[in-house]
Amino acid sequence: LSKMDGSAQAAELAEGTQKILARLETDVEHYARLRLASAVLAQAIERYREKHQDPVLRKANDLFGRLTCGFFEGIRAEFDDQGTPVLVGVRPGGKEMVGVKGMSDGTIDQLYLALRLASLETYLDSNEPMPFIVDDILIKFDNDRATAALQLMAELSRKTQVIFFTHHRHLVALAEANVDSSVMFKHTVGV
């Protein structure tokens, strides 16, 4: 009761509160519009990216899915927290993305091989053939993924020479058992 002195302070505070509420209402509405616009823009960017995707990335997308035996359906270019473009693996259904840091060493090797094969195929589309030479690239692949890689290299061998070095006899057996017999394999077993 002692603070009730008949001053206008309570009315001024109430008026200030109403002004803050009015500004807050405007700010919330503005924020909601910006979030909605951001979501619409993100969808438009995704549609544009899918439509105009780089030919190498488009080919690597398919190859990565095949190399991982469907464990990933492909790859996508995304942006990290700092806005830097990065590649991520896309799980089947397209809802889960896995960054390189979340992939096993073998899956990272499969991603690299997919990019390398896609780059070479894109190059071969408009240039003279050049040999594709690799040395023990399947060390971290399980048998299913090694078979998929051998089959992809066999397909590539229809466009250019593929030379694959390995000292793992089981990979030769996998190739002989799973690769089209029209692809010629020469192997030597060295000491």
Q: How confident is the model at residue 22 (pLDDT cuts 50, 70, 90)?
A: confident
What's the pLDDT tens digit per position in 96-109?
999 999 999 999 99
pLDDT band at 19 (very low <50, low <70, confident <90, very high): confident
Q: Residue 152: what pLDDT?
A: 95
- Tell me the pLDDT band of 187, cut-offs 50, 70 and 90: low
Give the model confidence (pLDDT) of 43-71 as tens digits. 777 776 666 568 888 899 999 999 999 99
User: pLDDT above 90 covers what percent of the chain?
Assistant: 45
Distance CA 10, CA 21 (A): 16
Q: Hey, which bits of the chain come out as E strands?
A: 74-79, 85-90, 97-99, 132-135, 162-165
Q: How confident is the model at residue 25 (pLDDT cuts 50, 70, 90)?
A: confident
Per-residue pLDDT, averaged over 169-184, amounts to 83
Of the pLDDT bands very low, low, confident and very high (cuts 50, 70, 90), residue 191 is: very low
When comparing pLDDT for 65 and 82, which is higher?
Answer: 65
Mean pLDDT of the chain: 86
Say what the pLDDT of residue 97 is. 92
> Which residues, other chains included, contact 90 with Cβ-Cβ below 8 Å and sequence gap of 6+?
72, 73, 74, 75, 76, 96, 97, 98
Q: How many helices (H) and strands (E) does the chain have?
A: 5, 5
